[in-house]
Amino acid sequence: MNETIITLVCALMGSGAATALVSGLFHSYGLRRQQQTGESQGMRWLLQDRLEQLALYYLSRGYVTMEQLRQWNRGHQIYHDLLGGNGDLNGLKDELRRLRIREEE
């Protein structure tokens, strides 16, 4: 009987500790996401501006090289996934995909 009670108490304590740990980790991650530094916000803004300018240039001339498209897509992935961009560039990304691809300049 005592072993059963001890096992039950240990299980409850272990379960509570695991729950507290996971909850704390998610809470900490959420706070970090909310408290973005000015540096990360500035990097996101600069990258968004650069990608917009490049896309508009490529669209105005009517073609893009494979390397330019590859580099632009890499920048967009960094902007969107790593810096938390909000999807503002997705329309330009779709337009770039429809451009004629020319050989390297």
Give the pTM: 0.64
For the chain, the structural domain boundaries read 1-35, 37-105
Residues 49/50/55/56 CA torsion (nearest 10 deg) = 60
Note the pLDDT tens digit of each residue in 18-27: 555 456 655 6
Answer whether residue 1 shows pLDDT above 50. yes
Note the pLDDT tens digit of each residue in 33-89: 545 678 888 899 999 999 999 999 999 999 999 999 999 999 999 999 888 888 889
The most distant pair of C-alpha atoms in the chain lies apart, rounded to whole Å, by: 82
